[in-house]
Amino acid sequence: MRDDALSRLAGILPPDRLLRQPAQLAAYESDALTAYQASPIAIALPETTEEVVALVRACREARLPFVARGSGTSLSGGSLPVAGGIVIALNRLNRILRLDPDERTAVVEPGVINLAVTAAAAPHGLYYAPDPSSQSICTIGGNVAFNSGGAHCLKYGMTSNHVLGIKAVLATGEVVEFGGASREQLGPDWCGLFTGNEGLFGIALEITLQLLPRPECYHTVLAGYRTQEEAGNAVSAIVASGLLPGAIEIMDALALEAAVAAVHADYPPGCEAVLIVELEGPREVVAADRGRLDAIIAASQPVEARPARDAAERLAIWKGRKSAFSAVGRLSPDFIVQDGVVPRRRLGEALRRIAEMTREAGLRCANVFHAGDGNLHPLILYNGRVPGELARAEALAGRILRMCVEMGGSITGEHGVGVEKREYLPDMFNPEEIDCLKRLHAAFDPLQIANPGKMFPGGSAPALATHGLHPLEKAGVISRE
């Protein structure tokens, strides 16, 4: 079965683009959730959409599981390979096919880097709004698969709010086109359905994105607070005022320590939390809103409030925030980046409970989050070389997710379910709802060969990457009977 499948693939790609050596496979065994690993039987490196379609159809004929992968920045194990399956790496499909400044649209291949879209649009005074922290390396195809957000999603929405059209090959081998170049669509929102499917429906081949005019000016404020609760109260006051900033972000003391050490970020010392608020838009509107924002922040009694005086200071503030995830690696050999959502009004309560649960677990946790929409990113620090510490970290992550659901939130804001959170899906959805999701999945992938073992509970456990604690069982491989 394996040899037959590989011979089919060898008829599509030349040997130098069908990787099979152990050293070549090792680079793809994990994504950004490095606690888990799996070894595929091959890595396919297509360079055209026609090759992607041929690969998917060959996988369907052989009932061979496949996982589409961009830059591998998934923090939920969403692009973790499947043992006995292949990885279809899309990085070489990295062309911006069309950019229409008049219509403010761009058509891109799935391997295009997020920030490259903005770079291409910049000469026309345009940009692409979704800005995940990994935007300098993550791909548009991955952003579509997981409906990525970013710091500015409070005002501009998620990836799904900026995708106008999708050409894709489904797991059945059928090539479909959803949406188009127009912002006015009739009928079912197929693009909205496909965006966020976590690779379970198929592979996007071409994505039509809407572009926005670059804001005329910015007003970015950095404010330090004695406690996280005070920072959270400031967020509530800003939102209650009716202001709609482009971004509202919070970093706690541990995240600040990491960012200062990593990129020498100049943040107020001795604070338990730092708040970043950014207004953007027409100069007159920002000028009017600036006075209101400054008054609200002053009333929240920060230790220090510091507006960025120029573009360089603004970029320095954001450099510290964008580097927070990777910077935490300076504080701990291993960490889990969790992702959950709580109602804004309960942010302070959520942070207090996370602190309590962290102390009970005997671990440390850095908090970095999109405060404007309640999207928490607790970074749980652990040492994988200490027996049982990964299990304690995962148990703490699970408690945080269940707290989010209890508060009326979600187990994911932008990182997806992947393998990390699939056992918590029943905490958020009842059996009837999960059955509906499964039936929808089956309509797009009846053989369940596209990214199997992800999202839905009950799949085989992925292997722990740390010191080979146990062997990998095959995750969701279809029966060959």
Output the six-digit token pair for 432: 């009837």
Scanning 87-241, the segments in alpha helix (DSSP H) are: 114-121, 140-146, 153-156, 190-194, 228-240
Per-residue pLDDT tens digits of the chain, which is 481 residues long: 577 888 899 999 999 999 999 999 999 999 999 888 999 999 999 999 999 999 999 999 999 999 999 999 999 999 999 999 999 999 999 999 999 999 999 999 999 999 999 999 999 999 999 999 899 999 999 999 999 999 899 899 999 999 999 999 999 999 999 999 888 888 899 999 999 999 999 999 999 999 999 999 999 999 999 998 899 889 989 989 999 999 999 999 999 888 888 877 788 888 999 999 999 999 999 999 999 999 999 999 999 999 999 999 999 888 888 888 888 888 899 999 999 999 988 888 898 899 999 999 999 999 988 888 899 999 999 999 999 999 999 999 999 999 999 999 999 999 999 999 999 999 999 999 999 999 999 999 999 999 999 999 986 656 666 433 322 223 232 222 2
Cα–Cα distance measured from residue 291 to residue 298, given in angstroms and rounded to the nearest whole number: 11
Output the six-digit token pair for 223: 């404010």
Cα–Cα distance measured from residue 244 to residue 252, given in angstroms and rounded to the nearest whole number: 23
CATH class of the domain comprising 332-419: alpha beta
- The domain ranges of the chain are 2-91+439-468, 96-213, 217-326, 332-419
Q: Do domains 96-213 and 217-326 have the same CATH topology?
A: no
Q: Which of 327, 326, 328, 306 is nearest to 317 (CA)?
A: 306
Find out whether 165 and 191 touch, Cβ atoms under 8 Å. yes
Output the six-digit token pair for 220: 């970015």
Neighbour count for residue 399 (Cβ, 10 Å): 16
In the numeric block, the tokens 């923090």 are attached to 75
Angle at 104 between CA 107 and CA 50, to 5 degrees: 5
User: Which CATH number among 3.40.50.740, 3.30.465.10, 3.40.50.720, 3.40.50.1110 corresponds to the domain 96-213?
Assistant: 3.30.465.10
Neighbour count for residue 478 (Cβ, 10 Å): 14
- The phi-psi region of residue 270 (left if phi > 0; otherwise alpha if psi is between -120 and 50; otherwise beta) is left
Cα–Cα distance measured from residue 125 to residue 147, given in angstroms and rounded to the nearest whole number: 25
Neighbour count for residue 425 (Cβ, 10 Å): 18
CATH class of the domain comprising 2-91+439-468: alpha beta
Neighbour count for residue 241 (Cβ, 10 Å): 13
Find out whether 328 and 257 touch, Cβ atoms under 8 Å. no
Question: What pTM value is reported for the model?
Answer: 0.90
Find out whether 415 and 38 touch, Cβ atoms under 8 Å. no
- The phi-psi region of residue 281 (left if phi > 0; otherwise alpha if psi is between -120 and 50; otherwise beta) is left
- 217-326 classified as CATH 3.30.70.2190: yes
